[in-house]
Structure 1
Amino acid sequence: MAGNGTNNNGVPASNSAPLASTPAAAPTTTAATTGATTTTTTTTAAMAAATTMEAQPKQQPATATATATATAATADTSNTAALAAPPAAASTKDADGETSDNDILETSPNGRWQKLRKKVMLKESTGIDEAHLAYDTEEGFEVVWNQITFTTKRLTATDQERLKQKFTDFTQLKHLNLVRFFDFWVDNDQQRLVFITESMTSGTIRAYLRKNKKNNKVVSPKVWKRWCRQILSALRYLHSMVPPIIHGNVRCDSIFLMHNGLAKVGAICLDDIRTHVRTVADASQYEAPELQAMEDAAGKDGYSPKVDVYAFGMCVLEIATEETPYSECANAVELYQKVLRGDKPQAFERLTDPDLIEFISACLAPQEIRPNAEELLYHRFLHEVPMLKVMAAHYILRTNVPYSPKQLPKQLNDFLREVADGAWGTLANINLKESRRALNLLHGIAEPEGEGMIRLGVSIVMPENMTRELVFLYSLQKDKPSSVAREMVGQGLLCRADAKAMERHLHESLVRYHAQEAERQQAPLAPQQPLAQAPTGPL
């Protein structure tokens, strides 16, 4: 897990001190660069969500002093861990004396974020009771002011510290396919948690699907496969944290689209939030069987990152069929029973692509055999482009290799643009894995190369009329066919499913080599022909 942030210095003039993270800087562009490392990337990230209720903020002055900050830092957490209500700003009116969407309803404790009257109309987000457009006074960008209302009158110091830790970690997350998370604070006076996120104005995948269906249009598989890769890239990043971050609310309503086609995952619903919030949207059709069984048993043994994979599979099914999973169920009880039995939605029967059927079936498989997000990211259904091609594109973009777009075909230029926009993930996701099965394995050279060494060759016939010619040194004393096959898989030259076939193939090559060597050593030497005498006489 990334390191924790620091508390804000701005404290409202109240007996309660805010527990909040240092606000992250708002992005200067919507799409970030594609350069990345394994844990810290140059992309943007976060958790966001929204619904449609409006609450009247409590009016409080927006002053903060060094004395108040010092008092908050040293006070007993049992008395001062609660957060004061954010101060409200006076509402303004337009020339006709009417209220405006740009009226400032309240300001954050540190004075940076201004909540506007205009609501963000993104419904059904788990736990979010209210979402308004807001303004970042430091960077000059629009953001979203999200509010979660708690069921309990006052959170305990332990609950506050747990939430503070989780949300502080969120401000450190940076990934191109996560909605950016900037700041947060807990307001015990109004029994709410407020967090500031990136503004997503282009709507959700579900809204896009509904619009297309209304207009009798179908989303191209090329488009939604790109969405799937980006969603899995974000989930892989979350699940790679220590401890793993479980999104807990993966749905077509919680995945947002940018104007350039980039998909961003938002609307996170931590288990720590789920147990305290007032508003919880019904998402039973996306919940894994082990999660529903866990809720019945009042335990948490089934709550693992694989519940996100199951929910993702339901999203893929909804995108591919443009039908909400289990829409055939008459009530929640029928849906619940079908999920526990492991019955797939009726929409699944409409699928015809064998690879898509295999891909969704893997997502919906029982927990113990369900693949993780990283494994799905390299499934042959999604991974249509050789990984070396993706790496080459990242290399060109990161190192500024001089080239002219006119020198490349339009298809390659479009591919470079997609990589730059994050459609193929970041370098942090690239583990050199080959997901495509080999069509055939052919024997190559096998000849001595020094004492105890041979030069061995093999040809791997791949789809798309591509053949990989591999030639390598093989030690007869140290190497084994199984270890060489595993090395090929690790270097992205061979699909893991073909490792056993390669092992047998290499063993056959070695048997053939030893047989040829034995024949060569046992064969009698051919009699030497006498040298012909040089002709004599005049030239």
Structure 2
Amino acid sequence: MPCESSDPLDKDSEPFVEADPTGRYGRYDELLGSGAVKKVYRAFDQEEGIEVAWNQVKLRSFSDDPAMIERLYSEVRLLKSLKNNNIIALYKVWREEKNNTLNFITEICTSGNLREYRKKHRHVSMRALKKWSKQILKGLDYLHTHEPCIIHRDLNCSNVFVNGNIGQVKIGDLGLAAIVGKNHIAHSILGTPEFMAPELYEENYTEMVDIYSYGMCVLELVSLEIPYSECDSVAKIYKRVSNGVKPEALNKVKDVEAKSFIEKCIAQPNARPSAAELLRDPFFDGIVDDDEEGENNENNGTGRIVS
């Protein structure tokens, strides 16, 4: 197994501050992001020669909360079973007993999360926004049609990640996801208030809560404004959502087609289309992402001879 040189004269190499038990993955000191639960560092896979993300959770922070520890393990177990171009891939997981940390290696998205990426690139065409939105939807469709069904429950633009050089987006942070049975019903109240569907508060909901959150993501992408930013407390957001008051940002959307599409997503639960149905919506007419272009090229004979 290749490992980093320990030669002190090798000043050109960037030192690892930590390695996994096999020595394959090395962690750098560079922090890519942090949240309430975990920190994410830049790391390197010496076997494949690629950069990866090293996710680290200090379990002692949750020693009094076994439910939180179980939720973290659930994220890892869940990620391991998922294989989709629009879902962050997991490569390895282990628990480091000495420092009581849970570590897992995932693929890295070079341009960070979609919220920051959109703030950085304020002048983006509607076509580009649709391409990003379509990819998120393809990831949701995969989760919702997975057996068993998976509800993300915390979809927002900070949990979607970007490879800006190829315009690819991927859903991540599945720590609050729920695996549900054939009735597709879950009960816990979890999520980010600005993006939480009203029925989430009633503790009786289906994967349609993700469609609502997705609609709020599209609203943020189009308006460059986090939904309900006019509210200065969670209580006020809850009151507005519960009373069916739409976020003020929706009134600022000038594109009639985009506004109509968002309104479909945040409609009452029984009126919301599924992810599969939304993928067929006229909103995406003419929007082909790279995966589909590859398939079309092959079928059209640019990649192979078709009889």
TM-score above 0.5, yes or no: yes
Please, which moves more after superposition, 147-156 or 374-383?
A: 147-156
Structure 1 segment 328-339 matched on structure 2, within 5 A? 328-339=230-241
The alignment status of 1:229 with 2:143, answered yes or no, reads: no
Q: Deviations over 1:85-122 (max 9, x none)?
A: xxxx99997889xxx993222222333222222221x3
Q: 1:135 touches 1:143 (CA, 8 Å); kept in 2?
A: yes
Asked if the contact 1:90/1:104 (under 8 Å) is kept, the reply is no
Within 5 Å, give how 1:310-459 maps onto structure 2: 310-384=212-286, 392-393=296-297, 395-396=299-300, 400-401=304-305
Q: 36, 40, 45: which one pairs with 1:136?
A: 45
**Aligned AA (1:106):** E
8 Å contact kept, 2:54–2:106: yes
Instruction: Answer yes or no: is 1:198 the counterpart of 2:81.
Output: no
Partner SS for 1:334:
helix
**Residue number in structure 2 paired with 1:449:** none
- CA-to-aligned-CA distance 1:214-263 (integer Å, 9 cap, x gap): xxxx2200100011111111111111111112223321112222212122
The answer to whether structure 1 residue 269 and structure 2 residue 175 are counterparts is yes
| Residues 191 and 384 (structure 1), Cα distance of their counterparts in 2 relative to 1, 3 Å cut | same
Gapped regions of structure 1 (runs ≥ 5): 1-88, 273-280, 295-300, 403-539
Q: Distance in 1 between matches of 2:201 and 2:7?
A: 48
Distance 1:95 1:107, change over 3 A: closer
Q: Please provide the CA RMSD for this pair.
A: 3.5
Aligned partner of 1:147 among 38, 50, 56:
56
Cα separation, 1, equivalents of 2:98 and 2:261: 48
Give CA deviations for 1:42-83 in whole Å, capped at 9, x if unaligned: xxxxxxxxxxxxxxxxxxxxxxxxxxxxxxxxxxxxxxxxxx
Is the 2:196–2:213 contact (alpha carbons within 8 Å) kept by the matching residues of 1? yes
Distance in structure 2 (CA, Å) of the matches to 1:149 and 1:173 = 24
Q: Could you tell me how far 1:369 is from its partner in structure 2? A: 2.3
Assess if the C-alpha contact under 8 Å between 1:377 and 1:383 holds in 2.
no
Letter in 1 for 2:26: Q
Partner residue, 2:199? 290
1:366-408 alpha-carbon deviations (Å, 9 max, x no partner): 222222111111111123369xx97754523795248xxxxxx
What is the aligned residue count? 286
More helix by share: 2
Matched with 2:149 is 244
Whether the aligned pair in 2 keeps the contact of 1:178 and 1:266 (CA below 8 Å) is yes
Counterpart pick for 2:208 among 303, 306, 313: 306
Give the counterpart of 1:174 among 63, 69, 83: 83
Q: Alignment partner of 1:368: what SS? A: helix
Q: Percent identity among equivalent residues?
A: 32
For the pair 1:102 / 2:14, whether they are aligned, the reply is yes
Instruction: Encode CA deviations 1:319-366: one digit per residue, 9 max, x unaligned.
Output: 111111111112222112112222111010112333322211111112
Q: Deviations over 1:412-447 (max 9, x none)?
A: xxxxxxxxxxxxxxxxxxxxxxxxxxxxxxxxxxxx
Distance 1:335 1:91 in 2: 54
TM superposition score normalised by structure 2: 0.80
Of structures 1 and 2, the larger Rg is shown by 1
Q: Work out whether residues 248 and 269 of structure 1, in 8 Å CA contact, stay in contact via their aligned partners in 2.
A: no
Distance 1:148 1:132 in 2: 11
The whole-number CA distance in structure 2 between the counterparts of 1:168 and 1:376 is: 29
CA contact (8 A) 1:147 1:192 kept: yes
